[in-house]
Amino acid sequence: MSFFRFLSRPFPTQPLLRSFTTRPTERKKIVLRDEDLVETFVKGSGPGGQCINKRSSCVDLRHIPTGIRVQCQQSRSLADNRGIARKLLREKLDELENGHLSKNGKKAAKIAKQKARRAKRAKEKYGKPKEEPNSAIPPPEE
């Protein structure tokens, strides 16, 4: 009985469809504020010997509102590592905030599109040829 009652009510389809089909078309610009960041410097690890073991040139950067944490020790220089860590954090926040519109999302979509196009071309070129009936040889009769 409840199923028929459900069918008798008007079901609002129009607003629901609009909310699911609309996607944002513009990227939100990511701005890092110093108040939202906790920056610590720790000793690095890995190859490098005495230089790595003694200096605290590894940057540990944490974004307080989202809890995203980035570590960077790509360079010997502390200043360079700070810049690289901020760049990495900006990329991660961009991916989190903008999703498919982020720089990495667009790059991945472009690569996927290229792969699909190349696969389609290869399939057209090297795919199974259509078997055409050979009119020169008659079919065997039994």
Tell me whether residue 105 is exposed, middle or buried, using C-beta atoms within 10 angstroms of its C-beta: 0 to 12, 13 to 18, 19 or more.
middle
pLDDT at 115: 96
Residue 133 pLDDT exceeds 80: no
Annotated domain spans of the chain:
33-121
- pLDDT tens by residue, 17-40: 555 556 667 878 888 888 999 999
Of the listed ranges 4-8, 33-37, 127-131, the one predicted with least confidence: 4-8
Smallest CA-to-CA distance from 88 within 104, 100, 99, 112 is with 104
Assign 130 a pLDDT band (cuts: 50, 70, 90). Answer: low
DSSP state letter for 28: P
- pLDDT tens by residue, 49-103: 887 878 888 999 999 999 999 999 998 889 999 999 999 999 999 888 888 888 8
- Going by their DSSP bridges, the two strands 37-42 and 58-63 should be labelled as antiparallel
User: What is the CATH architecture of 33-121?
Assistant: 2-Layer Sandwich (3.30)
